[in-house]
Amino acid sequence: MPDPLSPPTAAPPKLDDQLCFALYSAGLALTKVYRPVLEALDLTYPQYLAMLCLWEADDVTVNALGARLRLDSGTLTPLLKRLEGRGLIVRRRDPGDERRVRVALTETGRALGDRASDIPLRIGEASGLSREEARAERRRLVALRDRLEAWLDRN
């Protein structure tokens, strides 16, 4: 019989009870849904994210792009080199500050944006969420990310 005055023994956490695993496995599933869609554009998922940023705001610094994507330069640089090798972007020194490198779309890169215009709709269909549900889910995820980043900044 257990001693009623002893603290309860802690049980190890269960995988399926973890928020981190739900987010991780949902991310994996989403990336798998994107894979065949992006293969038609010959883009990987990280490359697609970089192109999304550039289709939104062209001719930005590598630092600004990395901050937007939450990627360090060690991850971003090879990704940009591959996009440049495919003729989708150009990298050049900032004429106002030679220490900075700017990234801009080529005409080919801009044209690829037109071909990518239906991707959000296709992914939305795969998710089974209505537009409103998808927006609400995104808001919750962004709020969670922001709270986690704020906690990291404080600690």
Q: What is the pTM of this model?
A: 0.87
The residue type found at 69 is L
Low-confidence ranges of the chain (pLDDT < 70): 1-6
Domains, the chain, with CATH or none: 23-117 (1.10.10.10)
* Residues of the chain above pLDDT 70, percent: 95
Nearest 5°: the CA angle 45, 46, 52 is 90
- pLDDT given for residue 47 in this prediction: 97
